[in-house]
Structure 1
Amino acid sequence: MAISWPSLREGDARPETMPMTIRMGDSVFLPAAAERVPSVWGMRLRQISAYASPAVVVLALIGAVGWFVGMPALGTLGAEFVPFLPTSIVKLLFIAFALRELDRAPAARARFTVAFAAVAVALMSMMALTIGPDPVGMVLSPLLPPAESESIYSPSGPAVGTATTYLLLSAALALAPLSDSRLVAISRLLAVAVGGVALVAVVGLTFHFVRLNLAIPSVGIALPVALALLITSFSLLLRNPPPRFIQLLEHDSPGAVIFRRLLPVAIAVPLLAGWLQALGQRFGWFGVIEGEGVVAVAMIVACTVLILWTAARLDEMNTDRSIAEIRANTQQQWLEVTLATIEDAVITVNNEMRVGFLNPAAETLLDVKVGDAIGRDLQELVVLVDEATDQPMGSPFARAFSELGQVTISGEPGLRMRDGSVRAVEATATPIRDWKGGINGGVLVLRDARAHRAREHADRQAYAALDRRVGDRTRALERTMSVLRESTTLLRTIAASTPELIVAKSREGRIMMVNPAALQAMGLSRAQVVGHKEESLFGSSEEMRRILENDRRVIETRRPIVVEESRTTRAGTRTFLVTKSPLRDSQGHVFGLVGVSKDITERKRAQRELEQLLVAEHRLRGEAERANRAKDEFLAIVSHELRSPLNALKGWSQVLTASGNPEPATVLRAAEAIKRNIDHQARLIDDLLDTSRIISGKLELNSRRVNLVEIVHAAIDLSWDTAKAKRIELRVDTACPSLMINGDHDRLQQIVINLLANALKFTPEGGWVELRLAQGETSVILSVADSGVGIEAGFLPHVFDRFSQADTSMTRRHQGLGIGLALVRNLVELHGGAVRVESAGPGCGSVFTVELPRPVQDALPGESPEAREGRPPRIALEGVDVLVVDDEADAREVMTLILSQAGAHVRTFSSGTELLAELARPDAVSLPAILLLDIAMPGDSGFSVLQRVRELASLPFIPAVAVTALSRLDRTRFELAGFQECVGKPVEARILIETIAATLDVADLDAQRRQASAA
């Protein structure tokens, strides 16, 4: 592809328009944008030529009006001039039509329409030469009265001058729209000839000296026709003027300046002198000889003035040119030095895309000498390709010349070297503009971009690596923060839910942290305790002195200790087993200590009573068992209905932890089992959560002895963040530190949380919510009051209806499913209580009151059977024959590993049928032995399997333990079925082993009693 403009010789003028040509092979295209660079004077002359057609029409119409109305003076613009014939009127109309088509019609159509008009004019001119000067008038004269016809038209000989001029003009018109430059030049010459004849006629008619029709009427030209011919010839010349003429009008060269100044004077001075001579002779001022003298003197004076002015102007322009040449030479030297020293390759081309200059850097880059490069096509030396795809990118001047501005090649251009390799470059193309804005060539700057591209590539790689590192660090930080948040939440939850008293102190003895159980024991609020010393809170005493001494010992020795301490609490003096450990910072420095106190008052009292009162042994034993069950029930609140999958998970994790360095096969089995059970548990949790939203209220309660005060405080802690976010004051009045009732811990907590959530949701910011807990004679009263929006009287009966809401519109402010209060009512009724609501109306708040029944009598703590017998419980299971029946292979494998590590001999069965088949063999069981039965198995339940085992007469008595996820079943049902104990899933290794050992100990004790009774 090549881009070029028409070449100009030095000093030539630029044409009216300079078309840019793009050559691709043998085809030539003109770009749609910026096709031509228009010349200012060219546009002006074209605008002037556009008025020629209307002017010719006006002259023709004037003659037509004069001819039709019988006014010869109107048609000839003077009674003494040559008459304006009808044939000339028709010719002028055809000429006006041709001029209009030249200016406005497309080139293809203009060739035919203009040729048609030119042929018509030529035919009428030929008729004028043959049959008479006015063939049209001859046709129209019979239509007019004789007088008018004779006054307008009188026959004469052929008008050779006018007809010949029309023939020349018709030829000029026919050649004007053609594209051949030689034919266009002939058209211009013909137009000049026609204009000369018309100008002679106009000047002669003006002076009344040269009137061609006086002596030779056949060659006379009427004044309107002469004016029309003069206008038409000028229009043809101005439509596409020669470049030299445009340069004379636009350029500041001496010749152009003199031309523009002298041409008007050369035209005006002779005309004025002639008119002056004619006027003098007409009015008798002077004769013919004197008139000629006046003309001569006027011409001499005018020429002298013009010569003086021209000389002064030439001197001035010569001085300016000398100064400009000096400046240009200086700038050229600066430019040459600059181009010789810069590292960028600079190449200049002319408008034919041929090289005109190369700087030394370009010689080095292109590996070519200046002499060899000058005059060669740029495409032979510079071949730009896309460095990534190796595809040609074309000439960089395509856009630069089209947009008439500097263009930088986008992407990653590369220069094709002489050896075929590609070197990364940056290419910038800039057009060279002349003084009128035209394009005479261009400058191409090539910069070696290898180092820059390498830096960019390295920067991109560095940025990518940095992004990856930042992403890795961010993800690691997020994981760390997530673990930290989970750990913090876990510690807070444990500290809030544990019954042990936890107190953290600084080295100075000031309390830094205290859990709710410790606050409850102290009978103080967190604000009253944190930041203070214990001696300032409880005074100095002997027991306080021992407490402070133990704290000092931990700080000094930097080791944990376990001691017994007595403290005075709201419930009186209590004995605690305290584990005190130092707190260390990241550098290992001790900055405080933490004490975990377990209330062992009852244990100590039981021990003293055991020593003093052997008679109360059975009662104390029962109380200890009830206390132990209460503790187990308290710990069981963290479990839920989905215990079966957790059985394998917890068992495998304990096996892997206890074994230290397990075998790879064991680890693989553990991983597979854990994954299966986790997936199973996730599905069950999702199903249960979805089902819980539409539950009908028929829930099974895991009733046990619970402390309602603890439940209330736990619910308050869970609701505290919501209250704080809405700046709601949360008031609590429990009236007593402990209030024991029979109920489901989780469901009671759900009741309190739902009531608090309802109050917080409908209480605006800045309000208050108050929770009161009181005890009556036969019931416990829990009330939640708020300063919220209140409840309308018409909605009060429906507050506890399922899916019922006061506002059900799409724009309601308070969202929810409408089942929270319905669940409260169902749960309260399942506990044997009642719930009611009171509200004075909208804006007056509301009060929800729950009444729960109190137990008739509290149980007293007791001891375990092992404590009663005065012997330690069985820990190891050496020699014990354990028969495990479970349909889940993972559960069987986990319990086998747990019990085998405890020393037991374990046999597993996937169903009751397999167990019974084994027990049918002689000597199938060696005592001591125990059965571990899963309750929910396909085909056989644990209850039916145990019943069939008991029916085997030949089998000695084997104690049985139920291992099941159905932990919410009534314990009495297991005892009636013949089970001695029940262990819930997921199985905890310690509990399973202790339960088996305790069951075997009880079985041994019963056997001894049976033997003693038999004796």
Structure 2
Amino acid sequence: MTTIDPRPAPVRAVRVPRPRAGSPDPRDAELDRLRKENAALLAQERTRADELDVATRMLAARAQTMTSVIDAVTEQSIIGTDRDGVIRVWNPGAEKMLGLPRSEVVRQRSIVDFHLAEELDAQAETCGSAPGLAALVHAAHAHGSDVRDWTYVAADGQQRTVSVAVTPRTDDRGVHAGWNFVGTDMTEARATERMKDQFVSLISHELRTPLTSILGYLELVLEDEQPLTDEQRKYLTTVERNADRLLRLVGDLLFTAQVDAGRFSLEPHDVDLAGVVRAAEETARVAAATAGVRLVVDLPASGLVVPGDAVRLGQACDNLVSNAVKFTPAGGTVTLSLRSAWAAADGTVSAEGRPGASPVAQLAVTDTGMGIPTGEQGKLFTRFFRSSTAQRAAVPGVGLGLAITKAITTAHGGTLDLVSAEGAGTTFTLTLPLAAA
């Protein structure tokens, strides 16, 4: 049997050698080192705390600035979502447009709740994406941004046509975090456009029918075997000329309505531009002679053939030439020149061919007329716009010719450029791709 001694085992004392008199104590050195390290760590901690405090205040100030800017926008809706479409940002403009306060939307509703489901479904079929949010952001995801009209549905069921700019949103690390939707209410503007187009189309049709009848009967009267006095023939010729002018105006109105509605079509064939230019010169010859304006035609020895609609190209050329004659005072000159050239991928055109350039035809119509103010040149191709020089000189017109010419040129894959200075004349240059050899 083993006996356990209940007494604790004796503890042996360990002697720590004391430094000899006059020698440095190593414990003091170690304590000093630790004190220094502790002081350095405390200083580093204070520095990091200060830096963190500054960064926090900067982030808070930045967030406050962004919030104040977004909240200051009251006429546009600004909606931010996460990657799943759940709304995280809802500005006063969104509250006003869609009729819900921020507290009832943020983190509770999805952006697709305010869109027409059938519109999103149709977009999904068009772009081949999933319905819902994927269809809404498909183009922005592919191209970095997207702007188009959508139908927003407000809390009371009212529908609004809204031009929505969609862009992706990233976090501080550059990781995709969601989407931004900036909407501008275009309901009234689009309704006005539709009413204007309907009005133009209606009036054009209502005018064309009686004008065609008037011109038909005028032609019968003028060709009748019964003799007319010179005075009667003069009167009827004046009526016919003005009826023709009205008919052209009606045609222009119908054409612009077709362009705006996307119903403008071409009947393409190979067209010799030289023949188009000669026909335009012949058409403008009487008006130019009456106005005392000299017409000069400069054509290449061989024709330049382009793919296009001969009637529409003739209309575009006629518009440029008639405009040049109208804006050139007596004694001036209008020059029609046709040349072949080369167009590079960046859009620059030169007389010499370069690698990668495509052959084009350039028709330039130059006048020595009153010119166009620099500040107005950007608006010149806008429907119904007339320059201040035209208004001061009381030049007749309604401002449709150049808008039509621009639309025809664009439909043919070409460009229409102008160089002008007030009082120094104008040059319009129509550039079209040549037909393949």
* Relative contact order higher in (CA < 8 Å, ≥ 6 apart): 2
More strand per residue: 2
- Please, what TM-score do these two structures have when normalized by structure 2? 0.39
Larger Rg: 1
- Please, what TM-score do these two structures have when normalized by structure 1? 0.17
More helix per residue: 1
